[in-house]
Amino acid sequence: MGAKPETAGTPVLKMQGIDKAFAGNPVVRRVDFSCLAGEIHGLVGENGAGKSTLMKILAGIYQPDAGNVILNGREVAFRNYGEAREAGICVVYQELSLLPQMSVAENIFMGRWRRGRAGLVNWPEIRKEARLALEKVGLGDLDVNRLVSSLPMAVRQLIEVAKALLYEPRAVVFDEPTTTLTGSEAARLFGLMRELRNQGKGIIFISHRLKEILGVSDRITIMKDGERVLTGPAADFDENKLIYHMIGRDLTQIFPKKPVQLPDRIIFSCSAVAPGGGKIEFSVREGEVLGIGGLNGQGQVPFLESIFGLETGAEVSLHGGSRIRVKSPRDAMRVGISLIPEDRNAQSSFPILSIRNNIASASLARLSAAGFLKTWREKRDVRKIAEELQIRMASLSQEVRYLSGGNVQKTVFARWLLASPKVMVLLSPTSGIDVGTKQQIYRLIRELAAGGVAIIVLTGDMVELIGLCDRVLVMYGGRVSGELSGSELTEENIMRTSMGRTGGEGAA
Ligand SMILES: Nc1ncnc2c1ncn2[C@@H]1O[C@H](COP(=O)(O)OP(=O)(O)OP(=O)(O)O)[C@@H](O)[C@H]1O
Ligand SMILES: [Mg+2]
């Protein structure tokens, strides 16, 4: 073996016998893990398997209870992330660390301000260096004076990487970086990851999208219940094998069976102002799962938010009742419309409240009698739903901020389920969710539909549109460019209508 550091094949980092427990709950157990120079190492496992915790130990955010971390042949014990970063370990998270109200240049140089002679911040110098840093991630043309809030998520992600690269890391951890990205945006990020790998850096990549993991990784490690199950060359794996080791059983059928024939009864109809002008009229039949597809940013989100009383507010009718205008989320909730937003961490969970309070928060009225919250009833209902969704937690009184990313999402889902909605609008309900739980969520969605809840699902995942939905409205340029169902529901048709080319009979 070549002794030169940073030649491909030499470990950049090694973790040996790592243990970590929180309040007596073991979360990472006797884990050995290494990443070589010049490899992309995929890390997979169910929600709560311990992936992020292991990486936080690597990055000095947590200290291990046992075991050691070896960086370039030397044992290290980082007390915080700053120390790890100086030593060459950087982490890029899905929830980015950029401050939206500051400019790109300011964000890149946050915490490492260059000062000129008079102690003043040297702006021209900062802007110049920011530009150089951005070039490395293919953003050479970006105006560094722009506010981060004005940029799409994909660009923010790349800025985050540019910022990390300033520390000249030997290893970069990407913890679910693609959850909010479209296919082509993710492809761009993978290009960058490969480039960094070819420069001899060690790249660790966490994702629940197994196709991505298989496509981009050189080696793969699978974790389950805090332990490392298996590590091997990516070529030795396929999707089924990954799933088998992740969840400990085969998963042949991810999607539940669709009903062969739906009853004709319309349970929800809606007329919304289309973001691109005109109207979008549609209805949902009993038992039906209606999908909303299309490329990112074609007006899907504002359209669906209007059903929940945001934007211009839609006109709706439930079970053939009279038409009402939904002017606010309050109106929406009163008639039984719920919306599960996409950005779950930021918008819709209460991080410092308990799991129980989070789940019960949308159902307080129903769970109360004469103004008193019926504690026993709340506890019973919350527990039941948490079990159904297999939320991995120490107890119901644990604060939500300590849950793994996927389990926070399940908590939000549980909250809206508990509120027994009549109409559920789900924005990307399974992003960041592991395959085993995805299957449960699909089953749950089917059961809700069969039980008379009108289900509307937005997803960028083609397989999900085809496998889960009975009918799909595809959007392009702020309007519906096609409606597909039954045998028309193919990848090719979805692609074509996504580009704005109408196929078959177009919807209104
Ligand atoms: N600071 C903490 N205090 C208490 N428990 C914690 C803390 N951080 C993580 N945990 C627990 O450790 C377990 C593993 O969490 P981790 O975030 O590592 O999972 P993950 O594999 O990254 O999952 P996901 O795919 O959902 O992101 C979870 O059950 C979580 O609740
Ligand atoms: Mg995680």
Determine the average pLDDT of the residues in 93-112.
82
Ligand closest to the CA atom of residue 45 = 1
Whether 416 and 429 share a structural domain: no
Residue identifier of the C-alpha nearest atom 7 of ligand 1:
402
Atom of ligand 1 nearest to the CA of 62: 1
User: 47 in ligand 1 pocket by Cβ < 6 Å?
Assistant: yes
Q: Is the pLDDT of residue 6 over 50?
A: no
Residue identifier of the C-alpha nearest atom 30 of ligand 1:
403
Which of the listed residues 394, 420, 446 is the one where a domain comes to its end? 420
In a domain, 252, yes or no: no
Tell the residue number behind the tokens 């793969």, with chain if given.
220
Tell the residue number behind the tokens 């719920």, with chain if given.
338
User: 50 in ligand 1 pocket by Cβ < 6 Å?
Assistant: yes
**Cβ proximity of 181 and 189 under 8 Å:** yes
Give 403 Cα–ligand 2 centroid separation in angstroms.
Answer: 9
Most ligand 1 atoms within 8 A of CB, residue of 31, 53, 58, 410 to mutate: 53
In a domain, 258, yes or no: no
pLDDT of residue 504: 47
Most ligand 1 atoms within 8 A of CB, residue of 91, 175, 403, 434 to mutate: 403
Residue 344: pLDDT band with limits 50, 70, 90: low
- In this structure, of 24-33, 114-123, 229-238, 496-505, the range with the lowest mean pLDDT score is 114-123
User: 407 in ligand 1 pocket by Cβ < 6 Å?
Assistant: yes
Q: Is the pLDDT of residue 492 over 70?
A: yes
What is the DSSP secondary-structure string of 217-264? -SEEEEEETTEEEEEEEGGG--HHHHHHHHHSS-----SPPPPSS--S
User: 179 in ligand 1 pocket by Cβ < 6 Å?
Assistant: no
Which of the listed residues 217, 247, 277 is the one where a domain comes to its end? 247
In a domain, 396, yes or no: yes
pLDDT of residue 125: 84
What stretches of 348-407 adopt beta strand conformation (E)? 368-369, 372-373
Give the long-range contacts of residues 493-496, CB within 8 A, separation 24 or more.
494/293, 494/462, 494/465, 494/466
Residue 122: pLDDT band with limits 50, 70, 90: confident
Whether 326 and 459 share a structural domain: yes
| Nearest CA-CA partner of 427 in 260, 336, 329, 305 | 305
User: 49 in ligand 1 pocket by Cβ < 6 Å?
Assistant: yes
User: 52 in ligand 1 pocket by Cβ < 6 Å?
Assistant: yes
pLDDT of residue 14: 97
pLDDT of residue 507: 43
Whether 196 and 301 share a structural domain: no
Distance CA 508, CA 226 (A): 51
Whether 186 and 144 share a structural domain: yes
In a domain, 143, yes or no: yes
Residue 302: how many CB atoms within 10 A of its CB? 17
Give 348 Cα–ligand 1 centroid separation in angstroms.
Answer: 19
pTM across the whole model: 0.80
Which of the listed residues 420, 448, 463 is the one where a domain comes to its end? 420
User: 45 in ligand 1 pocket by Cβ < 6 Å?
Assistant: yes
Element (H, E) at 339: strand 337-340
Give Cα 254 distance to the centre of its chain: 19
Residue 372: pLDDT band with limits 50, 70, 90: low
In a domain, 201, yes or no: yes
| Nearest CA-CA partner of 284 in 313, 260, 307 | 307
Atom of ligand 1 nearest to the CA of 408: 26
Distance CA 343, CA 409 (A): 9
Angle, helices 239-247 vs 435-450, to 10°: value is: 90
Atom of ligand 1 nearest to the CA of 398: 4
Whether 367 and 477 share a structural domain: no
Structure tokens at 72: 């370039």
In a domain, 117, yes or no: yes
- In this structure, of 95-99, 334-338, 464-468, the range with the lowest mean pLDDT score is 95-99
Domain that holds residue 463: 265-336+421-508
User: 51 in ligand 1 pocket by Cβ < 6 Å?
Assistant: yes
Ligand closest to the CA atom of residue 44 = 1
pLDDT of residue 119: 67
Q: How many residues does the chain have?
A: 508
Most ligand 1 atoms within 8 A of CB, residue of 247, 402, 409 to mutate: 402
Whether 33 and 121 share a structural domain: yes
Give 53 Cα–ligand 2 centroid separation in angstroms.
Answer: 7
Give 425 Cα–ligand 2 centroid separation in angstroms.
Answer: 25
Structural domains of the chain, count: 3
Whether 293 and 186 share a structural domain: no
Q: What confidence tens digit (pLDDT) does each residue in 141-170 have?
A: 999 999 998 998 888 889 999 998 989 999
Q: What confidence tens digit (pLDDT) does each residue in 387-424 have?
A: 988 888 889 999 998 888 888 888 888 988 888 899 99
Q: Is the pLDDT of residue 318 over 60?
A: yes
Distance CA 369, CA 473 (A): 41
In a domain, 144, yes or no: yes
Tell the residue number behind the tokens 């290290």, with chain if given.
76
Q: What confidence tens digit (pLDDT) does each residue in 185-238 have?
A: 889 899 999 999 999 999 999 999 999 999 999 999 999 999 999 999 999 999
pLDDT of residue 5: 41
What stretches of 274-336 adopt beta strand conformation (E)? 279-285, 289-293, 315-318, 324-325
Q: Is the pLDDT of residue 435 over 90?
A: no
Q: Is the pLDDT of residue 53 over 90?
A: yes
User: 498 in ligand 1 pocket by Cβ < 6 Å?
Assistant: no
Residue identifier of the C-alpha nearest atom 9 of ligand 1:
402
Within 8 A by CB and 6+ apart from 477, the residues are 276, 298, 299, 500
User: 123 in ligand 1 pocket by Cβ < 6 Å?
Assistant: no
* CATH code at position 298: 3.40.50.300
Letter for the amino acid at 377?
R
Q: What confidence tens digit (pLDDT) does each residue in 289-306 have?
A: 999 999 888 999 999 999
Whether 151 and 204 share a structural domain: yes
pLDDT of residue 501: 75
pLDDT of residue 373: 63
Within 8 A by CB and 6+ apart from 270, the residues are 280, 281, 282, 283, 307, 314, 315, 316, 317
Whether 65 and 175 share a structural domain: yes
Whether 153 and 194 share a structural domain: yes
Give 53 Cα–ligand 1 centroid separation in angstroms.
Answer: 6
Within 8 A by CB and 6+ apart from 395, the residues are 355
pLDDT of residue 508: 40
Whether 130 and 232 share a structural domain: yes
Whether 111 and 178 share a structural domain: yes
Element (H, E) at 483: strand 479-485
In a domain, 459, yes or no: yes
